Chains A and B, each alone.
Chain A
Amino acid sequence: MSKSTEKTSPKSLGLLVEFEDQHQLLKACEAVRDAGLTKTDAHVPFPVHGIDEALGIRKTMLPWLVLAMGLTGGISGLAMQYYMNATEQPGMLLSGYPYMISGKPTFSLPANIPVTFELTILLSAFGAFFGMIALNKLPVFSNPLFRHKNFARATNDRFFLTVDATDPKYKGQKHREMLEKFSPVAIDEIEADPSCDQIPKFMKYVVIVLLAALTVPPMMVWNARNTTSPHPRIHPIQDMDNQLKKKTQTTSPIFADGRAMRPRVPGSVARGEWQPLEFLTGVVPGGEATSNVALLQDEEKPAEDKPAAEDKPAEEKPADEAKPAEEKPADEKPAGDKPAAADAAAEEKPPEPDWVTTFPETLEINAKLMERGQQRYNIYCAVCHGVSGEGNGLVSLRAFELQQPTWVQPTNLHDPNVTKQPVGRVFNTITNGIRKMPSYEAQITPEDRWAIVLYLKALQKSRDATIQDVPQIEADALKGQGN
């Protein structure tokens, strides 16, 4: 009988002793411990007081693990915030990005404490939970104990002691008799699982195939992100990528003029671009005549029918650039000229606006502005008026050479009519043009126009200058040169 049972019954793994009372269990545990058995365990529905000593369970290392995780969380939390908000490594793939908000420092400890604290707690909690799971070698879903019918009560109201047969000091029958003394409910052999405990061979391939299949979706995403396609993207959330709008340089039926791009409302000034009116117009504001200087100029036009000459400056510019280099030395003092805006003579009819007679206060008059004016003058004005302002610019010379019938000689800027003009009027001429001379408002900024006026005034003055007008130091230098 016993032989046949041994044959059919599977291998014994140890003893399973069932108690009704935790106090009996504790005594049994102590006895087993004193017998020198170490591979023992108890299975109880709740932590029984004193069982750690009774079984000889050593203290767990879990608190140290939690401490380590907590320190990691705290330090990495601080380092992360420092890296992300207070550093910048240009060119690095994931560089930090320092924000400047309300002038606050990019890294200040008080503001960074909350996140540091939360990460410390989070990682510590992970340490406690997952550390417990790992140290307990969970999850385990297969356990020979589960095959014992009564063992289900281990999580309810019964107390079990197990002794492992692989313990070197384990002697089956002897220990069985020893445990009988503690009046257990039952003593059973723990039986190994009779079913084959080998994982079937094909499972290996199934796992490999499944793992391989798992890589497919990320590979597809990676591929899609790195290839071009003629098809439009799948675009589930539109954000503002696609919206009803008009692009630049297109037409729109919404406005009467059919333009999608809207011009600036007349009279409006962009924020931060406000300048005094006299600076923008060269006219002292207030008078009736100042209301629209451009209009005033337009009215003048028909009165003057000198033919236009300014068709060609663009063509001639290259030549023009070469010339100033030659002429510059000569340019410093002398000047013979013809005013470009020789308008002064021509119009008595419309009321003269109240021209600005001095340079606007907002303008800083210095050598730098003078140089700027010279440079702008040589670019925009000298082509017709000549570098010295005598109306003999390259365009003009060429026009005479070709005997252009409609060409009119540009004004000599040293003509008394021009030299008398107040600065506001000269500025206005550049801005709005006069007779055949077009408006330069679009090409030259107001400040540059004032710079040109400044330079022109200097040019005019230099024509009649005497040695007394020259500062002493400069005069001495000239004398030296003259010798």
Chain B
Amino acid sequence: MATVEEVADITLETPGKRAPLVTGGLKFGSITEIVAGVPEQEKPPLAWYIGFCVSVAALGMLFALIGYLVMTGVGVWGNNVPVYWGWPIVNFVFWVGIGHAGTLISAILCIFRQNWRTSINRFAEAMTIFAVACAGIFPAIHIGRVWVFYWLFPYPSLYLNMWPNFRSPLLWDVFAVSTYATVSILFWYMGMIPDLATLRDRTKSRVHQIGYGIASLGWTGSARQWHRYEKAYILLAALAAPLVLSVHTIVSFDFAVSQLPGWHTTIFPPYFVAGAVFSGFGMVLTLIVPARQWFGLKELVTTRHLENICKILLATGSMVGYAYAMEFFMAWYSGVAAEQFTFQNRAFGPYYWAYWTMITCNVVVPQIFWFKKCRTTPWIMFVASIFVNIGMWFERFVITVTSLSRDFLPSSWGYFTPTWVDIGMFIGSFGLFFTLFLLFLRFLPMVAMAEVKSVMPHGEHDPIAQADHV
């Protein structure tokens, strides 16, 4: 049966030579052993406990600060005249952007039959959902009266006797982000049903059997069910692909539909989407490099996977670099004085430090991936991915704050300073993200076992493997 020597890959990489998707001479059973072994451990490693404690502490801080905010009011943030959109919006856009890689890997690469996605898609989808959860918090609490957040939705209320204004980009956001979260969860969960059934069938613990049993809905791997399942999966992928592009497009509309110099530009939707993919893949890399090390996934998540991610980072990093340059060009070409001033101000004004941090992290650092050594050395990638995360946060900061702090009228200029609550909430959102992620690693299959098995070579009768032998 399947061995390394006859491993095949339908994605062409080097003509005449194909890199294996799964290395180490694994059989179907050994895939299960490796992946299911992680949640089946009696006790997770010490590092997990330490990480979990730190994350939960940060999460607790987030909840405490939300409580403080609700009791006191949004004045505890640094948002003030003229910068009404401060860190909450920056964090929101940052986290939504992180989420994009997961759906992109799952949906778009699935449609393009990029089989290398199978070993990282589960991981990335989980990241998506947790990032969207973090993102959802910020707009929910920035409305001031959190307890009536449901007024945003068009629910039949005789008390209000009013409906939301559907022409407002901020309402489009409500629909875009909630739809995105819902579809991502469906996609993630549906992909997990067969793997949950595997865990159910392997576990000895009664509690786990019941838990995984309910979650797997009684899945038996019936071919007739697989038939519909595969159809549903490809349909969901086809639906999620335009969705993922629409979400960040609509987030960019929040800015672009306004009249502010530096915001009111048509480049925003593609530029935001490219940036989102960039930041999302950055976060995937940040998470997967240590995870494959700690959980022994090196045979499944091979260097080639990492190399592919690095190539995407290089491409999207260059795209955002192009967008930065194009913004300057458009400001000059438009002849609008306010627009021109805004961009001079970004680079050389009071927030020049944020601007050049952004350029360094987003445009300069990814250029190292032109070198094969950097694309194949995990620690270099890891460091670079941290830079990408930092850079993308600063990108959102630069867009949001520099435009607002100096718009048309010099009389209304101001300098934005965050408060300790801003900073604490941002750190706390990482607490939420990592708490959820560590729970995911502990209790759920972090690699899509069934999908990996389906792209493995299937013995001497396999037509692909046969072709490869020739």
Contact = CB atoms under 8 A, between A and B. Distances in A.
Interface of A: 21-23, 41-49, 51-52, 55, 57, 60, 62-63, 66, 80-81, 84-85, 93-97, 99, 101, 104, 108, 111-112, 114-115, 117-119, 121-122, 124-126, 128-129, 131-133, 135-136, 138-143, 145-146, 152-157, 237, 239
8 contacts: A22-B459, A44-B226, A101-B165, A104-B167, A117-B246, A136-B222, A146-B220, A156-B201
A155 B147 contact: no
Given A63-B231, A97-B161, A114-B246, A155 B453 contact: no
A62 B235 contact: yes
B230 interface: yes
Interface string B158-186: 10011111110001100110010011001
Contact of A237 (B147, B182, B449): B147
Contacts of A60: 227-228, 231
Nearest to B32: A156
Contacts of A140: 217-218
Nearest to B196: A155
Chain B at the A interface: mostly helix, strand, loop or mixed? helix
Contact of A118 (B200, B231, B236, B246): B246
Contacts of A155: 194, 197-198, 200-201, 219-221
Contacts of B220: 43, 143, 145-146, 154-155
B213 interface: yes
Given A119-B175, A156-B32, A141 B162 contact: no
Contact of A141 (B194, B214, B224, B451): B214
Given A94-B158, A115-B172, A125-B182, A133 B231 contact: no
A473 to B, nearest CB: 58
Interface residues of B, number: 68
Given A121-B243, A129-B186, A115 B175 contact: yes
Nearest to A125: B183
Nearest to B190: A129
Contacts of A142: 218
A112 B166 contact: yes
Q: Of B147, B167, B179, B454, which is in contact with the most chain A CB atoms at under 10 Å from its CB?
A: B167
Contacts of A84: 154, 163-164, 166
Contacts of B226: 44, 46-47, 51
Contacts of B341: none
B362 to A, nearest CB: 27
A63 B235 contact: yes
A122 B179 contact: yes
Nearest to A58: B227
B223 A57 contact: yes
A62 B145 contact: no
B122 to A, nearest CB: 14
Given A84-B163, A138-B219, A139-B218, A23 B179 contact: no
B99 to A, nearest CB: 15
A128 B29 contact: no
A85 B235 contact: no
B2 to A, nearest CB: 10
A143 B156 CA distance: 43
Nearest to A22: B458
B193 to A, nearest CB: 8
Contacts of A143: 218, 220
Given A45-B221, A46-B451, A121-B243, A96 B32 contact: no
Contacts of A122: 179, 182-183
Nearest to A138: B217
Contacts of A63: 231, 235
A179 B422 CA distance: 69
B239 interface: yes
B8 to A, nearest CB: 13
Interface in B211-252: 213-214, 217-232, 235-236, 239-240, 242-243, 246, 250
B223 A43 contact: yes
A125 to B, nearest CB: 4
A387 to B, nearest CB: 52
Contacts of A153: 201
A128 B238 CA distance: 11
B200 to A, nearest CB: 8
Contacts of A51: 223, 226
B461 interface: yes
Contacts of A108: 167
B116 interface: no
B1 interface: yes
A141 B221 CA distance: 14
Contact of A136 (B27, B154, B229): B229
A129 B236 contact: yes
B209 to A, nearest CB: 10
B103 to A, nearest CB: 12
A121 B235 contact: no
B263 interface: no
A448 to B, nearest CB: 39
Q: Of B187, B223, B235, B246, which is in contact with the most chain A CB atoms at under 10 Å from its CB?
A: B223
B453 A45 contact: yes
Contacts of B147: 237
Nearest to A156: B32
B202 interface: yes
A121 B171 contact: no
A154 B221 contact: yes
Contacts of B242: 121
A126 B182 CA distance: 9
A138 B218 contact: yes
B76 interface: no
Contacts of B227: 47, 52, 57, 60
Nearest to B169: A114
Given A21-B1, A99-B165, A152-B201, A128 B235 contact: yes
Contacts of B156: 94
Contact of B454 (A47, A139, A157): A47
Contacts of A126: 186
B246 A125 contact: no
B450 interface: yes
Contacts of B29: 156-157
A62 B167 contact: no
A133 B219 CA distance: 10
Contacts of A136: 222, 224-225, 228-229
A360 B20 CA distance: 95
Shortest Cβ-Cβ A-B pairs, 6 listed: A132-B232, A139-B217, A157-B28, A84-B163, A152-B201, A42-B223
A128 B236 contact: yes
A121 B239 contact: yes
B223 A52 contact: yes
Contact of A114 (B164, B175, B198, B232): B175
Contact of B198 (A66, A117, A156): A156
Contacts of B186: 125-126, 129
Given A41-B223, A122-B182, A135 B253 contact: no
Given A119-B175, A129-B190, 4 more contacts: A42-B222, A101-B165, A136-B224, A155-B220
Contacts of A152: 201-202
Nearest to A96: B163
A145 B197 CA distance: 13
Nearest to B30: A157
Interface in B128-174: 145, 147, 154, 156, 158, 161-167, 171-172
Q: Of A46, A80, A133, A153, which is in contact with the most chain B CB atoms at under 10 Å from its CB?
A: A46
Contacts of B231: 60, 62-63, 132
A62 B450 CA distance: 22
Contact of A85 (B145, B163, B176, B218): B163
Interface string B235-277: 1100110110010001001000000000000000000000000
A52 B228 CA distance: 11
A44 B223 contact: yes
Interface in B397-437: none
Nearest to A21: B459
